[in-house]
Amino acid sequence: MLPKGFLFDFDGVVVNSFISHYSAWSSAFKELFDQEIAPYPKSHVGVAPIKIAEYFSGVINQEHRAKDLFLLKDEHLDVYFKVPTLLPGVFEMTTMLTENKIPYGVASNATKLFLKNCIEHLNLNFNTVFGVEDYVKPKPAPEAYIMLAEALGFTTNDFKDIWVFEDSLTGTTAAKLAGMNPIGILAKYSEEELKEAGSTLVFPSLLEAYQYLIR
């Protein structure tokens, strides 16, 4: 039997959006501070944008301007939008779920505007989508996935039968705390790291997860 529902992180699971985000961080940082930005830290993969802004501004001892950087990066992300690369298996997975009438949706720490732009440009079949503005406590808190599951019609009793596709330790922790089944996608972290964080299965991409499910 297939799981009752499927929840998706976005960056690193559905799309490779590193260039989209990092170019926006870089140009916003340059405009605000007239300096080149630091390399993106692996420790902040999947972290809420305001936390990333705090990191980058803190590198040059400008923590008090983190909110300014966060807002400007969001503006650059929209104005200079770079379409991310679609990762393998997305269309196969969403088509299969639609045909089997299995509820699914996206809960991301990215902004809703970025998610909307990506879904429109790539013609993706995601109708239920939550972004970082929707949560009081973003991932690694479980609120994002609990909110999405409830929006899809699930109750707490269903959570153990819901798969959550995640590529980050932050999101894997959120899924685990929500009482759901984290499924790792290999993007930035190794299989060992994802399993240590709570992933019960790990796949190179959604394509291999799809092939596993249809078998």
Give the tens place of pLDDT for each residue, 52-105: 999 999 999 999 999 999 999 989 988 988 889 999 999 999 999 999 999 999
Report the C-alpha gap between 169 and 57 in whole angstroms. Answer: 23
Nearest to 9 by CA among 173, 208, 201, 210: 173
Q: Residue 78: its pLDDT value, please?
A: 87
CA nearest 141: which of 132, 154, 150? 132
Q: How confident is the model at residue 43 (pLDDT cuts 50, 70, 90)?
A: confident
State the first-to-last Cα distance of the chain, in angstroms, to the nearest integer.
Answer: 11
State the pTM of this model: 0.85
Q: Report the pLDDT value the prediction gives residue 101, as an integer from 0 to 100.
A: 97
Kindly report, residue by residue over 163-209, the tens digit of the pLDDT.
999 999 999 999 999 999 999 999 989 999 999 999 999 999 999 99
Kindly tell me if the per-residue pLDDT of 129 is higher than 90. Answer: yes
Q: Which residue has the higher pLDDT, 41 or 212?
A: 212
Taking CA 149 as the corner, what is the angle to CA 130 and CA 105, rounded to the nearest 5 degrees? Answer: 50
Q: How far apart are CA 159 and CA 1, in angstroms?
A: 16
Judged by DSSP in three states, 151 sits in helix
pLDDT of residue 209: 98
Predicted confidence at residue 37, as pLDDT, reads: 97
